Amino acid sequence: MASLRDIKNRITSTKKTSQITKAMEMVSSSKWNRGVNNAKAFVPYMEKMQEVTASIAMGSQDVNHPMLKSRPVKKTGYLVITSDRGLAGAFNSNVIRQVYQTIKKRHKSNDEFAIIAIGRVGRDFFAKQGMNVVLEITGVADQPSFTEIKDITSSTVGMFEDGTFDELFVYYSHYVSAISQEVTEKKLLPLTNIEVPSKPTSYEFEPNAEQILEVLLPQYAESLIFGSLLDSKASEHAARMNAMKNATDNANELIKSLSLSYNRARQAAITQEITEIVGGAAALE
């Protein structure tokens, strides 16, 4: 049986750990709140964007834009959104596993795909596997603003335009609720399946539909990426909050059972001492 001092030490260290996890849980929970709000603030922009894009792209039949057209796929792009830091439960591994399995299933050689990694965890994994990471971004803020990630989005969309890849999928963890996030795969480019609103408006175009699409489509694709990133951030903080809550709960459980054995050991020591004294006194008589 462990000595009194050993148990005491374990209790103290577990208490310290639980303090840390508790603090991390609280930090994540405030970040989670803000992340969800950011994702909400983005919705009106996205809805409008979607509406306008759909009305223009689907409304007029004679429009042609490279971003709307499927072309023969020689190379597939995968945009993988993970976090920079771990300690978020299965958040990162879920995303990475799905991407990894999909790539293994779909492609035979490294030349058939290109990976764009947002987040350190994903980047490290794919680089270690020797997979073709063409663009990587780490250190994205917890509350990313659109200007901050403009470079990422525009170079990603640029890669599609200049033919680095012929289709683009995005993988990220979609925020369902505080306790549930699910890995989502979305085909980003080419924009073949834009949801058409129930009652499309017929617009006048100033100067004309083609020129508007020229500006609108890249922006639309960029907003899709930004939206996924916000979604992923909200999930990340929710996942971390949960992981840390579980850790705190487990630590408390452990402290409880350790205190119990500590008290038992102490009681055993006292009993033993008394027996020894009584035994000694009896020997003297």
Partner 1 sequence: MNTMKVNVVTPDGPVYESDVEMVSTKAQTGELGIMPGHIPMVAPLQIGAVRLKKGGNTEFVAVSGGFLEVRPDTVTVLAQTAEKSDNIDVERAMRAKERAEQRLREKQQENVDFRRAELALQRAINRISIAQGKL
Interface with partner 1 by CB under 8 A: which residues? 38, 41-42, 44-46, 48-49, 52, 56, 145-147, 150, 201-207, 211-212, 215-216, 219, 223, 226
Q: Which is nearer to partner 1, 56 or 96 (CB)?
A: 56
Q: How far is 161 from 158, CA to CA, in rounded Å? A: 5
Q: Which is nearer to partner 1, 11 or 49 (CB)?
A: 49
> How many of the other CB atoms lie within 10 Å of CB of 107?
16
Q: Which is nearer to partner 1, 54 or 80 (CB)?
A: 54
Q: How far is 208 from 236, CA to CA, in rounded Å? A: 42
Nearest approach in angstroms of CB 41 to partner 1 is 3
Nearest approach in angstroms of CB 122 to partner 1 is 23
Count of residues making up the chain? 285
Q: What is the largest CA-CA distance in the chain?
A: 116
Nearest approach in angstroms of CB 175 to partner 1 is 17
Nearest approach in angstroms of CB 105 to partner 1 is 34
Q: How far is 15 from 238, CA to CA, in rounded Å? A: 24
Beta strands 180-189 and 167-177 are antiparallel
Q: Which is nearer to partner 1, 56 or 133 (CB)?
A: 56
Task: Give the strand order in the sheet containing 113-118.
Answer: 133-137, 113-118, 76-81, 167-177, 180-189
Q: Which is nearer to partner 1, 35 or 89 (CB)?
A: 35
Nearest approach in angstroms of CB 81 to partner 1 is 16
How far is C-alpha 203 from the chain's CA centre?
38
Nearest approach in angstroms of CB 235 to partner 1 is 18
Q: Which is nearer to partner 1, 47 or 195 (CB)?
A: 47
> How many of the other CB atoms lie within 10 Å of CB of 150?
12
Amino acid letter for position 142: D
